[in-house]
A and B are shown apart, each in its own frame.
Chain A
Amino acid sequence: EDQVTQSPEALRLQEGESSSLNCSYTVSGLRGLFWYRQDPGKGPEFLFTLYSAGEEKEKERLKATLTKKESFLHITAPKPEDSATYLCAVRRDGGSQGNLIFGKGTKLSVKP
């Protein structure tokens, strides 16, 4: 069964304290791994797409990496405005565009 598991469920950091979020997946034929950010009361907002093991993408303080079994979202020197729930999703081979399997997310809190 295709599955996406994110850990930890929640993470509290002090401003400037770097850390990583994990997304492990089992899927029959990966056709992309995606990271989204979701603020309270809002819809998810797209961050990155990764397609193959070894690929990396960066955006400001965020860096996403991909291996054959998992992805990491590294957060360097986070700020309070980085507080949000980060969602990982995969599209499997044969899946329609936009038919993504999401993990339950990691809720990140960054304290000043």
Chain B
Amino acid sequence: DSGVTQTPKHLITATGQRVTLRCSPRSGDLSVYWYQQSLDQGLQFLIQYYNGEERAKGNILERFSAQQFPDLHSELNLSSLELGDSALYFCASTGITGGTTGELFFGEGSRLTVL
């Protein structure tokens, strides 16, 4: 158990809809990262938050947004969903030193299916 909790584990929705994925990082970790994993693209970095503030952006679509709340949990909002958004969405967290060594602690992911 990595200590990172993600909900829901599975989500099925229709095109055009909006969903919210939730992540609770390891106790004490200030950094939260969101990754998307699809069969053809592999794991792709989306966005990072540190102590409530956006720190870095990757290949995140404009239809997607995220935030980190004062209790450090984070939410990834996906809107106007398309078939191609079907993927596994992972949240990861690090402590102060974890980011330097590259040791990300990943949750078990949220599998999104868009029909």
Contacts and interface: CB of A to CB of B under 8 A. Distances in A.
Main SS of chain A's interface residues?
A: loop
A61 B107 CA distance: 25
B108 A97 contact: no
B104 A96 contact: no
Interface residues of B, number: 27
A95 B99 CA distance: 11
B45 interface: yes
Interface residues of A, number: 23
Contacts of B55: 96
Contacts of A41: 108
Nearest to A87: B43
Contacts of B105: 46
B58 to A, nearest CB: 6
A11 B77 CA distance: 37
Contact of A49 (B31, B101, B109): B101
B42 A102 contact: yes
A45 B99 CA distance: 14
Contacts of B48: 96-99
Nearest to B106: A43
B45 A99 contact: yes
Interface in B24-80: 31, 33, 42-45, 48, 55-56, 58
B12 to A, nearest CB: 17
B92 interface: yes
A96 B32 CA distance: 12
Which 7 A-B pairs rank lowest in CB-CB distance, beginning with the nearest?
A: A97-B99, A43-B106, A96-B56, A102-B43, A104-B42, A34-B102, A46-B103
